[in-house]
């Protein structure tokens, strides 16, 4: 394991905890993709929280201040289709 390699403890709010191997140069989105492989929770439904902050997809794990063996929390959030519904409603209201 190189100095760039880390293991993260992912605490799933409604399930089991898991350990994910990553590199500090990986983005949060790459981490979410690895979590998806383990949990089947789609990337767009994952909300990752570390030290009270929500992690953003475009930042690296290093930029997000993640460290080897730290714990992050995974909250599953449903993606709402209200934007699509609002767009459809406006089209009907404004022909």
pLDDT tens digits for range 53-65 = 999 999 999 999 9
Note the pLDDT of residue 40: 93
The yes-or-no verdict on residue 69 having pLDDT over 50 is yes
Q: Return the structure tokens found at 86.
A: 């609002």
Binned at pLDDT 50, 70 and 90, residue 88 comes out as very low
Instruction: Flag whether pLDDT at 95 surpasses 60.
Output: no
Annotate 32-59 with b (16+ C-beta within 10 A) or e (fewer): bebbeeebebeeeebebebeeeebeeee
The bridge status of strand 71-76 relative to strand 5-12 is parallel
CB 52 within 8 A of CB 34: no
Which residue is associated with the tokens 């992912």? 10
**Which residues are 60's β-sheet partners?**
27
List strand residue ranges (DSSP E) for the chain, in order: 5-12, 17-23, 46-50, 53-54, 71-76
16 or 7: which leads in pLDDT: 7
* Rounded mean pLDDT, 15-35: 96
């Amino acid at each position: 394991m190189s100095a760039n390699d880390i293991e993260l403890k992912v605490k799933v709010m409604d399930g089991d905890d898991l350990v994910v191997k990553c590199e500090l140069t990986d983005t949060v989105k790459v981490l979410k993709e690895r979590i998806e492989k383990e949990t089947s929770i789609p990337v767009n439904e994952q909300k990752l929280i570390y030290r009270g902050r929500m992690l953003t997809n475009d930042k690296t794990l290093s930029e997000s201040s993640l460290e080897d063996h730290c714990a992050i929390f995974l909250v599953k959030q449903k993606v709402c289709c209200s934007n699509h519904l609002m767009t459809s409603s406006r089209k009907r209201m404004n022909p």
